Amino acid sequence: MDSLVSAAMSTGTIKDAVIDADSLIILKFMVMSVTHLLIGTVQGVIQTFPEFALWIRATGPAGHMIDPLAHAHINLVGGVTMAIMGLFYYVLPKIIKRPIYSRTLSNTSFWFSTIGVLGFFGSLVFLGIIEGNMILDGMTYLQALDAVGPIHHIAIISTAILMGLGYWIFISNIFLTVFKRRGGD
């Protein structure tokens, strides 16, 4: 292994692997996309186990937050659309022969989308489990919501807003790239 690394270093392949700032952003989207897909597919497998599937059905609206809501968004927003964002950032400069308008906007949309979707997923799963257990203890969903308090809406709405901002910043950056030059008109 060591000899492979030193051979690679002497031939320059490791040094060549140092990537530019634009490619680094794309790599971040790709790594985060597959991380979200890993979380979503592991959850998908877990929720096929009969005891979990029954728990989700039995808890009604609370279970609905875990499957399909948390599952759909970690896979579709975190996995699929973040992969598409990375691909757009790779392909668009090749098509229009100039760089993406703003690296700052790319990075901001990356962090808003990542924190937003992980927070949305985490809140839905966490609140779903707490409220689901309250429902199984005999409460109605509304009583469970009352018992949890405003944190339910604060967590879900704030992370949803972050996801939305992540999307809109990405969309703006794509429009700006198509219709304006980086640092120019």
Residues lying near ligand HEM in the complex (CB under 6 A): 37, 40-41, 44-45, 47-48, 67-69, 71-73, 75-77, 79-81, 160, 163-164, 167
Side-chain-side CA neighbours of residue 8 (13 Å): 10
Least Å distance, CB 172 to ligand HEM, is: 15
Closest-by-Cβ residue to ligand HEM is: 44
Least Å distance, CB 169 to ligand HEM, is: 12
Q: Match 């919501």 to its residue by tokens.
A: 145
Q: Could you tell me the CA-to-CA distances from 137 to 127, 130, 141 in Å, in that order?
A: 15, 11, 11
Q: Of the two residues 26 and 169, which places its CB atom closer to ligand HEM in the complex?
A: 169
DSSP secondary structure letter of residue 97: T
Q: Report the C-alpha gap between 79 and 73 in whole angstroms.
A: 8
Q: Of the two residues 47 and 107, which places its CB atom closer to ligand HEM in the complex?
A: 47
Least Å distance, CB 180 to ligand HEM, is: 25
Give the number of residues written for the chain: 185
Q: Could you tell me the CA-to-CA distances from 90 to 64, 67, 108, 125 in Å, in that order?
A: 36, 33, 17, 33
Least Å distance, CB 126 to ligand HEM, is: 16
Q: Of the two residues 73 and 152, which places its CB atom closer to ligand HEM in the complex?
A: 73
